[in-house]
A and B are shown apart, each in its own frame.
Chain A
Amino acid sequence: MTAKEKTSKSKSEKFERPDGRKLEEIRPMKAKVGVVPNADGSAMFSFGDTVAIAAVYGPREMHPQHSQNPEKGTLRCNYSMLSFSVAERARPGPNRRSTEISKITEWALEPIVMIKKYPNMVVDVHINILQANASTRCAGINAAALALAHAGIPMKEMVSSVSIGKLDKTLVVDVIKEEEDWEEGEGATDIPITLTNSGKITHLQLDGKISSQELKEVLKLARKANKEIYEVQKKALKESVKLN
């Protein structure tokens, strides 16, 4: 069955996702902390084939000195994809996309991190995407939040990130590559959202076309997914402190 047939079918019957998931179904998630022994805190988080690892170093003194902020510490994130994490080899090194995602990740995390406690210091969060099938920034943020908690950085609460997609007229949770490239009908709208576990938005991006009514629906779906992801994160953190 072609994508076009699927779409026309969706109008009368149920919409079918390329991987057979239910509309609100997140791919199988895995989370583990302590994956990088050298780091002060580290974690792996995956949505199906999308695998992110994150490591936290710090708080440590900020260099060069003129970058130090005596009022509060600095949270510095660095997102990057391994060259072989995608089907067509990605050129190693930063690019405009990774630079923006790094900043977005900082903004997503800073509200929950009590960074004011560390004047003149920096907390570095390094995120690497080992394998990609869309939603890499969300997996990265989830791994980073876990790594920060694992590093013992004081945090007000957790954040959990998920991508919501609008494929033609249907809303789906946790977008994969085939869905990101959806071309039928109204095409794909991709909305990665990060929420604190008390339900505040720390990150939201949107690319595509959507009505304000639908966007409100998107937020509801994100909130529901957010709670599921939070449970996975919480479990991984609890496992890491389990006494032998």
Chain B
Amino acid sequence: METSRITGERIADYLNEGKRFDGRKPEEFRNIEIETGVSKWAEGSAKVKIGKTEVIVGVKMDVMEPYPDSADRGNLIVTAELLPLSSERFESGPPRFPAIEIGRLTDRAIRESKFIEMEKLCIKEGEKVWAVYIDIYSLNDDGNLIDAAEIGAFTALKTARMPKYDEETGKVVYGEFTDKKIPLQKEPPVTITAYKIGNAWVVDPTLEEEDVADTRVTIGATPDGIISSIQKGEALEIDIKEFEDVIDLTEKVRKKVFSSIEKALK
């Protein structure tokens, strides 16, 4: 069920006093829980829970031809599926825009930050390179799937082991793994999405809050503050000054979220 206008007005009123329905501060995330290695056949996998929102992410690898514009680098393919199992709002069928956008946002955060060292995934230039598939599935949607998906993606990558590759046949031996890790940069990108509700900005919205937000900004950056992907979502315009505040807000939040992620991974 969509959130009613009256509830939206109440959420905005509360936020004017810096309060949220669940008692959090506007810049406060819900509790983050991460479980890695949740799938036996995936090269890497992670289940991420943020409050009641839950996603499962798996990394699979294969060997294929490189794309013409990146003949000496590996391929990255990110997909997201909003499972009908995870919300009464999602239906089966070809992916609709929200699923496509989550896949694209995660793809760009990972790709543009150069988190995966793609040049090291080249086997033979122009002929054979590793392909990294990141597949994201929602298991329960209570808002902020965007950030949950991206956290799941980079933690699954971090825990992945490369599959066995048979040089003679030029094919991957499915189901057999090596001890080799995917070559990654030290600092992972973390996306933080800020949502504007009434006059206030919040992060990690619940589904109700997400429903009544007028605009949002997703910023992907490393914990030390190097930004490499941004998307402004939804139609409402934003003042330049306000946008600058959003950058500062997400940077502050990112540091905290990153330390919660590190704690959750221990």
* Partner of B85 from A53, A83, A92 at Cβ < 8 Å: A53
**Number of A interface residues in the complex (CB < 8 A):** 33
Name A54's contact: one of B56, B85, B86, B88 (CB within 8 Å).
B85
Q: How far is the CA of A36 from the CA of B53 in the complex (A)?
A: 10
Q: Which of A111-119, A128-136, A168-176 contacts B (4 or more CB under 8 A)?
A: A128-136
Q: Contacts A82-B58, A84-B58, A89-B60; is A94 near B92 (CB within 8 Å)? A: yes
- Check A78 against B84 for contact (C-beta < 8 Å): yes
A71 CA / B228 CA spacing, docked (Å): 57
CB pair B85 A37 closer than 8 Å: no
Bound: A49/B215 CA distance, A: 43
The answer, yes or no, to whether A38 is at the interface (CB within 8 Å) is: yes
Pair A85/B39 contact, Cβ less than 8 Å: yes
Beta-carbon contact of A55 and B86 below 8 Å: yes
Query: Is A126 a contact partner of B39 (Cβ separation < 8 A)?
Result: no
Inter-chain contact B84/A83, CB cutoff 8 Å: no
Name the distance in Å between B51's Cβ and chain A's nearest Cβ.
10
A93 within 8 A of B: yes
- Residue B67 interfacial (CB < 8 Å): no
Query: How many residues does chain B have at the interface if contact means C-beta atoms less than 8 Å apart?
Result: 31
Q: Is the CB of A3 closer than 8 A to any CB of chain B?
A: no
Asked if B81 is at the interface of the complex by the 8 Å CB criterion, the answer is yes
Q: Within the complex, which residue of B38, B135, B141 is in contact with A83, where a contact is CB–CB below 8 Å? A: B135
| B42-A36 in contact (CB<8A) | no
Q: In the bound complex, do residue A130 and residue B140 qualify as a contact, i.e. CB atoms below 8 Å apart?
A: no
In the complex with contacts A82-B137, A131-B41, A126-B83 CB distance below 8 A = yes
Bound state CA distance, A223 and B137, in angstroms?
Answer: 36
Chain B positions within 8 Å of A39 at CB level: 85, 88
A82 to B60, CA, bound (A): 11
CA distance A38 to B133 in the complex (A): 28
Q: With A89-B62, A132-B41 in contact, is A126–B79 under 8 Å at CB?
A: no
**Knowing A36-B140, A92-B79 touch, does A84 contact B45 (C-beta < 8 A)?**
yes
Establish whether residues A83 and B133, one from each chain, have CB atoms under 8 Å apart when the complex forms: yes
Say which residue of B60, B79, B137, B142 sits within 8 Å of A38 (CB atoms). Answer: B142
- C-alpha spacing A86/B38, complex, angstroms: 13
Let me know if B42 and A124 touch, CB within 8 A: no
Chain B residues closer than 8 Å to A124, beta-carbon distance: 84
How many whole Å from B141's CB to the nearest CB in chain A? 6
* Whole-angstrom distance between the Cβ of B166 and the nearest chain A Cβ: 14
| CB-CB contacts below 8 Å: B87-116 with A | 87-88, 92, 94
B58 touches A83 (CB 8 A): yes
The answer on a CB contact under 8 Å between A126 and B84 is yes
| A49 to B175 Cα, complex, angstroms | 13
Q: Is A57 an interface residue (CB 8 A)?
A: yes
Which of A35, A38, A86, A126 is packed against the most chain B CB atoms within 10 Å? A38
Distance from B79 Cβ to chain A, minimum over Cβ atoms (Å): 6
B207 vs chain A, min Cβ distance (A):
9
Q: Cβ of B175: which chain A residues have Cβ within 8 Å of it?
A: 87
B181 within 8 A of A: no
Nearest CB on A from B30, distance (A): 13
> Known contacts being A130-B39, A131-B39, is A83 close to B60, with CB within 8 Å?
yes
Q: Which residue of A lies closest to B45 (CB)?
A: A84
Q: By CB atoms of chain B within 10 A, which of A87, A94, A124 has the most?
A: A87
User: For residue B129, which residues in chain A have a CB less than 8 angstroms away from its CB?
Assistant: none
CB-CB under 8 A from B266, the residues of chain A are none
**B44 closest partner in A (C-beta):** A84
Complexed CA–CA distance, A78 and B93 (Å) = 11
- Does residue A88 face the partner (Cβ distance < 8 Å to B)? yes
Residues of B within 8 A of A49 (CB): 40
Q: How far is the CA of A132 from the CA of B42 in the complex (A)?
A: 11
Give the chain A neighbours of B45 by CB distance below 8 A: 84
**Which residue on B lies nearest to A36, using beta carbons?**
B140
18 sample A-B contacts, Cβ–Cβ < 8 Å, listed by A number = A42-B85, A53-B85, A57-B84, A78-B92, A80-B83, A82-B56, A83-B58, A83-B60, A83-B79, A84-B41, A87-B41, A87-B174, A88-B174, A89-B62, A89-B133, A126-B83, A131-B41, A133-B40
Residue numbers of B with Cβ under 8 A of A are 38-42, 45, 52, 56, 58-60, 62, 79, 81, 83-88, 92, 94, 133, 135, 137, 139-142, 174-175
Closest 3 CB pairs of A and B: A84-B58, A87-B175, A84-B42
17 additional A-B pairs beyond A57-B88, A83-B79, A126-B83, beta carbons within 8 Å, are A38-B52, A38-B140, A49-B40, A78-B84, A80-B83, A83-B133, A83-B135, A84-B133, A85-B39, A87-B174, A89-B60, A92-B81, A92-B135, A126-B85, A127-B85, A128-B83, A132-B41
